Chain A
Amino acid sequence: MPPRLHAVGGIWRLATLVIALGVLMPVGSLAWMALDGDFAHWAHLAQHVLPQAALDTALLLAGVGAVVLVMGTGCAWLVTAYSFPGRGVLHWALLLPLAMPTYIVAFAYLDLLHPIGPVQGAVRWMLGFDSPRQFRLPDLRSMGGAIFVLGFVLYPYVYLAARAMFMTQPAHLLEAARTLGESRWGAFRRVALPMARPALAVGLSLALLETLNDIGASEFLGVNTLTVAIYTTWITRSDLAGAAQIACTMMLFVIALVALERHGRRHRQFGSVQRMRAVAPHRLRGIKAWGATAAATAPVVLGFGAPAAYLLSETLKRFHQGYVPSAGLWSSLGNTVSLALGVTCFAVASGLIVAWACRRIGSRPNTYHWQARMASLGYAIPGTVLAIGMLTPALFIDAQLADSLGLPGLPLMGAGAVLAGACVIRFLAMPIGGIEAGLARIPAPLEQAARLLGETATGTLRRVHLPLLRPAITVGALLVFVDTMKELPATLLLRPANFDTLATWLYAEAARGTYEEGAIAALLIVLAGLLPVVVLARTQLGSATAEAANPLENLS
C-alpha cells in the first residue's frame, strides 16, 4: 500500500479521539445507569410517569412544529417574493426572537398576561368589565400557552433555513412554472416549497431539539414534559436511576429528530445546484401591502418586541424607584461571564483540534471524519440528559481525586468544572462547524505550498490557516459564549452549591413568583443574545439587500 499524506500527527488524532469519546461518554454512562437501576423502576415509570410526560412532550413537539413551520416558511416566502413597506427591516428583524431564551419569554408573558396584569386589564377596560371574575383570557399556563410561547421564539430556525433556501433558488425555475400555467401561489406550492423541504426539515429539527431541551418555559407554563419529569425525578425525589431511565426514553425523541435533520442535510443540494439570478420581489400595493407588513411584523412583536419591551420597562421602573442591584445579582453576572469565558476557550480549542485533524487533505476524504461528526453530536443532547449522564463519571473522578490528593468534598463539581464540561460538550458543534466551513473555503494549494516550503502540518495551521480562520473562530466563540450565558437545564443540575448564573437567578425568581431582579437578569441575557443574531443576519442574509437591485441584470 503506498504511503499516504496524513492531515496531522498521532497526538492530534489521539486528542480528537478523546474529545469525540468525551462527547459520547455521557450517553454511555446514562445507558449504564438506567440499566443498573432497579427494574421495578421501569414498571413504575411506565405506569405513572412516562405515558403522561411522553404524551405532553409529543403534543408540545407537534404543536410547536406546526407553528414554526407555518410561521417560519410563510414569513421567509413573504420577504423573499414580495416587496411591501418595512420589508428591508423585517427581513433581519424576523431573526430577533433568537436572542430570547424560551424561559425568559415565558417569564415575561406570565406577568404580561396575568389576570391582573396590563394586557388583561386593558382588555377588561375596553370591554367595560371591572374584575377578573367577570372576564379573563384563557390561562397561559397550559399546553396551548406553551406552544404559543415556544412557537413564537423558535420559528427563526425555520425562517433562517427557508429564507437562505428561497434566496438561492434560481428565479427561472419559478418563471418556468408561471409559463406552464401556475399562479404565484401555485409556483410557491409546487416548486419553491418542495425544493426547500430539506432545508425546512433541518430548521424544524433544530427548533424541536430546542423544544425538547427547554425546561424553564415548560415548567413555568405547567406542561409536564420529559425534561421536566427528569428534573423533578432527580431533584424532588432524589431518584437518579429513575431520571436516567426517563432520559433514555427521551433519547428516542432525540434520535428521531437527529435522523430528520441528517436526512434534510443530505438532500440540501436543490438550492445550490443552479445558483443564478435570484427571485425578484413582486411589489404589493394598497391593503395587500399593509396586510403583508402586519403579517410579517406580528411574529417579531410577539416573539421579541413585547417581552423585550416588558423587560426594559420593568428594569427602568426599578431604577426609577431608586433600586440598587443586589450583591447576589452582581455575583451571578460575574459567575455567568467567567463560566461563559472558560467554556468558550475550551470549546474553541477543542473545535479547532477536531476540525483541523479531520479536515480533507488532497482529493481523498479524511478517514477520521467520523470523529468530527461524533464530537458534534452534543448539540442534540438535551441539557438535563447531559447533566444526568455526566454525573456518575464526574462523581467517580472526583472521589479518586479527593482520595489521591487528600482534597475535601468534590473538587471538580465544586469548582464548576463538570458544569463547564457539560457546556463544552453541548456547544462544541458550533466551533467545529464554523471552523470546518472556514477550512473548506481555504484553497488546498495554500497548504500544499506551505508543506512544499518545509512547514509541518501544525506550523501550517499556525502560520497560514489560523490567520485566515480568524473570522470563523470569532463567530464560533461568540455563539458559544452567548449560548453558555443562556444555558439553563444543565446549569441548574450541575452548578456548585451557592453558585448562580443570570439564568438560574432568573429561574429562581420566577419559581418563587417574585419578579424583583428577574427582569434585569433577563435583560442582560437578551442583550448578550442580540450579538449572534447580528452576526447571523450579516452572514446568512447579507446578500439579500443587494438582490434584484437591477432586475434586468444578467439578461440578454
Chain B
Amino acid sequence: MTAALSIDNLRVTYQGAHGPHVAVQDFSWAVEAGQIACLLGPSGCGKTTVLRTIAGFEPLSTGSIRLGDVVLSSPQIHLPPERRRVGMMFQEYALFPHLTAAQNVAFGLRRLAAADITTRVAEMLTLVGLPDAGRRYPHELSGGQQQRVALARAMAPSPALLLLDEPFSNLDSATRERLSVEVRDILHRAGQTAVLVTHNQAEAHTMADVIRVL
C-alpha cells in the first residue's frame, strides 16, 4: 500500500496574548490509500489543529504535509484549500442554510456539465440514504440527515482525502452508533481515504482501520 497522506515533524504555533503558543509539536503520521484513520485524543490536545492544517486553514511552522507526491504544506509552500483535493466534514456540518440539500451537494461540482452534476448529486444522496431529500433546506432536516448531506457534499467532488472533524458529536448516542457504522460502510464502499478526529473511543474503534492517539 502507498501512503496517501504523509505528515513529517509537524509543528503548529500561533500568536497568543502572552507570546507564541505551540498547538502541535513534532507530529509525524502516514495514512495509506483507502484507509479510515483516526486521531484520538482529549479536547485541547491539538487534533483539530492537525486536521485544519491538513485542510490548509492553518499554516505550519515546521515540517511538511504531503498528499501522494504533492506537497500541500511546508514552511515554503502553502497550497490554498481549494487546490488541495481535500474534502472536509465539519463538526457543525457547515451546510449552507440558503441552499437546498441538492444544491449543497452540488456546490463543489461546478466544473462538471449540468447533466453530470444532476447525476452525481443523485448518486451521492442515494449513497448516504437520502435519495428524496434533495429539495429540502438544512433546517428542514434532522441532525442525522444533515450529517449525511454534509458527508455527501464532502465526497461529491471525489477528494483524494476526506477529513471528518468530530462528525457525530452533535447527535444522540443511539443515532451516533447507527450512523458511525453506516458512514464507515459508505466510505469503504467508495474506497475513500479518510482521517477522522474524535475524543470518543467507541466511535474510533467502530469507524477506524487505524488509530493514532494524540
Interaction A to B: yes
Chain A positions near chain B (C-beta within 8 angstroms): 170, 172-173, 175-183, 186, 190-191, 194-195, 197, 270, 273-274, 276, 549-552, 555-556
Residues of A within 8 A of B43 (CB): 556
Contact, CB under 8 Å: A195 / B94: no
Contact, CB under 8 Å: A556 / B44: yes
Known: A179-B55, A552-B58. A172 touches B94 (CB 8 A): yes
Contact, CB under 8 Å: A179 / B92: no
Judge if B46 is at the interface, Cβ distance under 8 Å: yes
Contact, CB under 8 Å: A175 / B55: yes
Q: Which 4 A-B pairs have the closest CB atoms?
A: A180-B108, A178-B81, A176-B94, A172-B94
Contact, CB under 8 Å: B97 / A176: no
Contact, CB under 8 Å: B94 / A552: no
Given contacts A177-B107, A181-B82, A183-B80, 19 further A-B contacts (CB under 8 A): A172-B90, A175-B57, A175-B81, A176-B88, A178-B81, A179-B159, A180-B82, A180-B108, A181-B108, A181-B110, A181-B157, A182-B108, A190-B107, A195-B96, A550-B16, A550-B17, A555-B48, A555-B52, A556-B23
Contact, CB under 8 Å: B81 / A551: no
Chain B residues 1-21 with CB under 8 Å of chain A are 14, 16-17, 21
Across the interface, name the chain B residue whose C-beta is closest to A174.
Answer: B94
Judge if B45 is at the interface, Cβ distance under 8 Å: yes
Shortest Cβ distance from A62 into chain B, in angstroms? 26
CA distance A175 to B45 in the complex (A): 22
Interface range for B: 35 or more
Chain B positions near chain A (C-beta within 8 angstroms): 14, 16-17, 21, 23, 41, 43-49, 52, 55-58, 80-82, 84, 86-88, 90-92, 94, 96-98, 107-108, 110-111, 139, 153-154, 157, 159
CA distance A549 to B46 in the complex (A): 18
Known: A181-B157, A182-B82. A552 touches B56 (CB 8 A): no
Most chain B CB within a 10 A radius of its CB, from A182, A190, A195, A552: A552
User: Please, could you name 23 A-B residue pairs with CB atoms under 8 Å apart, sorted by A?
Assistant: A170-B94, A172-B92, A173-B96, A176-B88, A176-B96, A177-B96, A178-B81, A178-B82, A179-B55, A180-B154, A180-B157, A181-B82, A181-B111, A183-B80, A194-B98, A195-B96, A270-B97, A274-B92, A550-B17, A552-B14, A552-B21, A552-B49, A556-B47
Shortest Cβ distance from B91 into chain A, in angstroms? 8
A179: which of B88, B97, B98 is its contact (CB, 8 Å)?
B88
Residues of B within 8 A of A177 (CB): 96, 107
Contact, CB under 8 Å: B49 / A555: yes
Contact, CB under 8 Å: B98 / A195: yes
Contact, CB under 8 Å: B17 / A179: no
Residues of A within 8 A of B96 (CB): 173, 176-177, 191, 195
Contact, CB under 8 Å: A274 / B157: no
Residues of A within 8 A of B80 (CB): 178, 183
